[in-house]
Amino acid sequence: MKKFKFQHPTDKVLIFVLVLIIGLLTAILWDFGQKLDILWKQDQNTPAMNLDVKVYIQSALKGLYASPTVTDPLQSRVYMPEAQIYLPLSDLSRNLMYNYQAADKALNSPAQAIINTGQNINHLANSFADVPCLQRMVSFTINQKGDNINNGHLAGSVTLKDSRILYLYDNNSPGCDKFWFPGRGASDIVALLKQAQSY
């Protein structure tokens, strides 16, 4: 068996580049591991977090709740096109943000949406204890009850004119009210969703 010898100059350059890439990847993974370690060690009762962490959390919320409702001032309606529903136009309905997921028959997962408000998403968390209140507010499933959707509890249902049923879930965790603007809490969104109409 013939042994490979690094005699050509490009062989040495190639080896150098490979070693450099491996070293760079190792450094990136180590840095990422250090950041994760800091996050895990962060005490939930600590009143303040590093500003970078607060911004990361806020960025994650904005990424999750990426779809704004569509306002139709002529009809005084606000639409969620993916779910084919509309709500009455108000300051609250105009400010809703949501993430819609289509039904997945293979996983027996119903169509569902998670809903939050723009103010809530733009609020910077002060500690990790704040995050569940800011992250989870209201959700609904269509035609099929969910399995403890977003750690919420069943807060009611709405039968639409096209015979679909929205099952509404809210975050009723103690202490979350202090993170939500007056008139823009989970119970307010549920009350609004109970007025949903199909189109």
Minimum mean pLDDT among 12-16, 105-109, 122-126: which range? Answer: 12-16
Residue 109 DSSP code: B
**CA–CA separation, 65 vs 139, rounded Å?**
12
60 with 96, same domain: the answer is yes
Domain hosting residue 24, numbered range: 7-41
Whether 55 maps to a domain, the answer reads yes
Whether 1 maps to a domain, the answer reads no
pLDDT of residue 44: 47
99 with 184, same domain: the answer is yes
pLDDT of 43 > 60? The answer is: no
Whether 177 maps to a domain, the answer reads yes
Look up tokens 């929205």; give the residue: 166
Question: What residues contact residue 162 under an 8 Å CB cut-off, 6+ apart?
Answer: 84, 198
**CA–CA separation, 115 vs 105, rounded Å?**
23
* Mean pLDDT to the nearest integer, 49-58: 85
Rg (CA), the chain: 24
Residues forming a β-bridge with 80: 85
Of 185, 88, 161, 163, which is closest to residue 80 (Cα–Cα)?
Answer: 88
Tell me the pTM. Answer: 0.71
Q: Are β-strands 96-101 and 85-88 bridged in parallel, bridged antiparallel, or unpaired?
A: unpaired
Minimum mean pLDDT among 20-29, 33-42, 96-105, 174-183: which range? Answer: 33-42
Per-residue pLDDT reduced to its tens digit, 116-173: 999 888 888 888 878 888 888 999 999 998 765 555 689 999 999 999 999 999 998 8
Joined together, the tokens standing for residue 97 give: 């943000």
145 with 164, same domain: the answer is yes
pLDDT of 95 > 90? The answer is: yes
pLDDT of 176 > 50? The answer is: yes
pLDDT of residue 135: 86
